[in-house]
Structure 1
Amino acid sequence: MISPTYLARCGAPTHPRDLVQHDCLTFATTGLTWDFESRRGPINVEVKARLSANDSQLLLRAAIAGMGVERIARHVAQPALSTGELVPLLVDYPFRSSGSKHSDSSPPDRPDQTSCIGQSRSALFQAAGRSPRKPSKQRRPASDFSP
């Protein structure tokens, strides 16, 4: 995703490799390699982080302020996309959803049974004599993630 302000100032990358010439806003735990799919196969790009954070809302605000290109889940950016504060970028190159450091795929249908945190959560609810709320089975496709 990119703001019109950044777009006017720096232009838009037309290929994932163009990102090396742009300021990127990165999620700290995913690293600096962004993995894309193309008709010719995978493309891996080592981006330059102008800002790296663990908070998607902070990165969203930074992108809206024109600080750089951001890789963020579409559902997080949707309000800013709707108002025109952000625009999609590189739509012909979706992010890879497997085989990369950071998977854009959704969590399993039953994360409460597959993760340590989920198991701990279930144990706490059981000890309190309550039943945990069942997770939604709705999955977001990898295409919901955009730069």
Structure 2
Amino acid sequence: MQIGVDIIEIDRIKKACGRKNFINRFFTLKELEDIKGKKSFYTHLAGKYAAKEAVVKALGTGFRNMKWKDVEILNQASGKPVVALSGKAREIFKLKNFNGILVSISHCKEYAIAFAVALGGEADESSQPFNYEADGSNGY
């Protein structure tokens, strides 16, 4: 199991949307359809952006060698966010033997934050138990 988290200023995403091709480079049509017409469009867009960042952190790679659209943050009818992977992100997911990704998104007036958990997978140095010695030393 691996985790990832990200936080973003909503105003930063709103300003970025003024740049040519920003939305089309970072978001899929399905993602945009999920939030189309919402009064808080930029808030939800920022949440999806943060969730993508959190997911690639949980995968342990960041966006190296993959496209932003390889990580898709969709919503169930209830509004619950779900992750759909394609391309290089899906390859990494399979290579690392993950069996699912959970994501949670929250926002307030100024910020959107997301937390992701990649389930299963092979243990690496970041998932080893902490070695705390009885004498108070931390095992280093």
Q: TM-score, normalised by structure 2?
A: 0.23
- Counting strand residues as a fraction of each chain, which structure ranks higher? 2
Higher RCO (Cα < 8 Å, 6 or more apart): 2
Q: TM-score, normalised by structure 1?
A: 0.23
